[in-house]
Chain A
Amino acid sequence: MAASEITAKIRLIETVDARQHEFATQGVDDPSAPVKLRTKDLSAWYGDTQALKGVSLSVYDRHITAIIGPSGCGKSTFIRCLNRMHELIPGARLAGQVLLDDQDIYENGVNPVRVRQRVGMVFQKANPFPTMSIRDNVLAGFRLQGLAIRDGNSLVERALRHAALWEEVRDSLDRPGTSLSGGQQQRLCIARALALEPEVLLMDEPASALDPASTAKIEELMIELKKDYTIVIVTHNMQQAARVSDFTAFLLNGELVEYNPTPQLFTTPSDPRTEAYITGRFG
């Protein structure tokens, strides 16, 4: 083992060790924890290119599940399959099952729009609607779907507080959403997703375009949010996975190599390829 690999490993172990108390009190490796989402033999293609190869894993209710892996390993494809965003790309195909509360979201007769209402998503690049104010961005889900808004002001405040943005924008709710900083825009997008009160929140590298301070805010926020939501986060930052997640899945070339409680995956990985990846030997 080269020195750099040892340091990388030590840093990860320190990170998960620092959370030992949390893991002990939460019982994350409790196999009886309720499953919110389950994929069975999930495969996905873009045209002729297979991006996912038979991935089966369970996402536990009110926990954070991190998906890690090198670029192009299929981790973004994986979470885009969880709320039927994958099929919006021309030429995209899919096989296998995704069960949300034991109901297959790809079954005939399931409306993808209803799925996305229950499984919200935050993207890598913050994408607030440029034609809407901060307030309207938070309410965008309702406006888009043409739903009646009861007591919009308190709804906006609740969602923005939930996303830890309220104090910063309470006096400028009518300014355009795009006038905020990058980190604030990303939290606005989280607020926008939370306003619809989804059950699951998918986050596709939500902090990869942000500075360290904003990243820390988003991570704190995720830990806060898991009290009420099931979170699946894709990240290329292993430290981030070690800091926030309860379970970690390692994907490589579209295959699920290892899926374990986070402390276990980072301290005693069961697959040599996981060991190689987390110590930085590739990817």
Chain B
Amino acid sequence: MSTQALPGSVPPPRRAHTLREGMGFSGERIFQALCWVAIVVPLFLLGVLVVDIVFDAWPRLSWQFLSSYPSRRPEQAGILAALAGSAVMIVLTALMAIPVGVGAAIYLEEYAPDNRLTRLIELNISNLAGVPSIIYGLLGLELFVRAMQMGRSLLAGSATMALLLLPMVIMASREALRTVPHALREAGFALGADRWQMLRRVVLPSCLPGILTGIILSLARAVGETAPLITIGALTYVAFLPDSLSSPFTVLPIQIFNWVSRPQVEFHRNAAAGIVILLLLMLLLNGAAIWLRVRLQRRYA
């Protein structure tokens, strides 16, 4: 009896659904439009900037510009010293920051016990990544230039830069290490490997693309850093190539900064040309990161 419908209780009429429903100004559409604007506006601004810079720089972009030292005469000035300084500094910085950063990441991710001290260290690393770069410059000035008596040298600059990059390298490497599935580590242990063997043969090869990408992106940032190097006293007028680790040096952003701050329009053109070279260098590094990642992933996918 109870399972039968009571007389007169007609089921409510079904709402008529049409397939066209919801195609007006729905939340979905508005959100889509906002997201579209969010991507187009920065791209447009970047485009305007690049076009403007290249337009300014065009007459100065030549082999002569790349192969000359700075000069009082803008048409004879070039960025050879700055380019060499940047290149050598990046290599030195990488040599210092990569082993320490990756090592610290491996320790924190794989070996460190989960206790208060470890969490304190982790918190501080995240905070350090957000510290303004000029603070690192002050640290470098006090520690490397004065206390360790390195002087205003390439070595002091690279060491300061390495300090600046460390938190970023550590965090990027930890992220990469975390992407390796737990099942693979267990498989390694179950095959009789100890932790180091498992890390070396299983975990590191799997997350190498991620670690390398993180490192290269940090290095790309270092190429553009100016403040810490100005703080430790990199020179702005260098008419020679760095010949040793203790040699004074300059880098691209400092050279650009120097030219921009001069009154003559001709020097501004030089600055624009320097910016184009700097952008190309960054593009090259980022491209290398993508290339490496794709290549390594294809090999293992």
Contact = CB atoms under 8 A, between A and B. Distances in A.
Interface of A: 83, 85, 88, 90, 113-114, 116-117, 120-121, 123, 125, 127-131, 140-141, 143-146, 176, 178, 189, 192-193, 196
A140 B206 contact: no
Given A117-B192, A144-B191, A144-B193, 12 more contacts: A85-B189, A85-B190, A120-B191, A123-B187, A129-B202, A130-B184, A130-B301, A131-B205, A143-B201, A144-B197, A144-B202, A192-B191
A145 B191 CA distance: 8
Contact of A127 (B114, B183, B205): B183
B192 A130 contact: no
24 contacts: A88-B189, A113-B193, A116-B191, A116-B192, A117-B192, A120-B191, A123-B183, A123-B186, A127-B186, A128-B187, A130-B301, A143-B201, A144-B191, A144-B198, A144-B201, A144-B202, A145-B192, A146-B197, A176-B300, A178-B301, A192-B191, A193-B190, A196-B191, A196-B192
A161 B97 CA distance: 47
Contacts of A83: 190
Contacts of A140: 191, 201
A116 to B, nearest CB: 5
A127 B181 contact: yes
Contacts of A141: 191-193
Leading 4 A-B pairs by shortest Cβ distance: A117-B192, A144-B193, A121-B190, A141-B191
Contacts of A117: 192
B21 interface: no
A88 B110 CA distance: 12
A88 B193 contact: no
A189 B187 CA distance: 9
Contacts of B193: 113, 141, 144-145
B28 interface: no
Interface in B167-218: 181, 183-184, 186-194, 197-198, 201-202, 205-206
Nearest to B113: A90
Q: Indicate the member of A83, A131, A141, A146 with the most B CB atoms within 10 Å.
A: A131
Nearest to B193: A144
Given A113-B193, A116-B192, A146-B197, A129 B183 contact: no
A192 B187 CA distance: 10
Interface of B: 114, 181, 183-184, 186-194, 197-198, 201-202, 205-206, 300-301
A229 B94 CA distance: 51
A144 B188 contact: yes
Contacts of B192: 113-114, 116-117, 141, 144-145, 196
A261 B187 CA distance: 31
A140 B193 CA distance: 10
A259 B185 CA distance: 32
A156 to B, nearest CB: 15
Contact of A193 (B186, B191, B201): B191
A113 B190 CA distance: 8
Nearest to B184: A127
Contacts of B189: 85, 88, 116
Contact of A90 (B114, B183, B190, B201): B114
A131 B197 contact: no
A129 B184 contact: yes
A130 B206 CA distance: 7
Contacts of B114: 90
A193 B184 CA distance: 14
A116 B188 CA distance: 10
A123 B183 CA distance: 8
B160 to A, nearest CB: 36
A88 B195 CA distance: 11
Contacts of A146: 197
Contacts of A90: 114
A145 B197 CA distance: 6
Given A85-B189, A123-B183, A189-B187, A113 B206 contact: no
A128 to B, nearest CB: 8
A7 to B, nearest CB: 29
A123 B181 CA distance: 13
A190 to B, nearest CB: 12
Contacts of B186: 85, 88, 123, 127
Contacts of A192: 187, 191
Contacts of B202: 129, 131, 144
B190 A130 contact: no
A180 to B, nearest CB: 14
A125 B184 CA distance: 10
Contacts of A123: 183, 186-187, 190
Contacts of B184: 127, 129-130
A196 B197 CA distance: 16
Nearest to A111: B194
Contacts of B194: 113
Contacts of B187: 123, 127-129, 189, 192
Contact of B300 (A88, A131, A143, A189): A131
B288 to A, nearest CB: 21
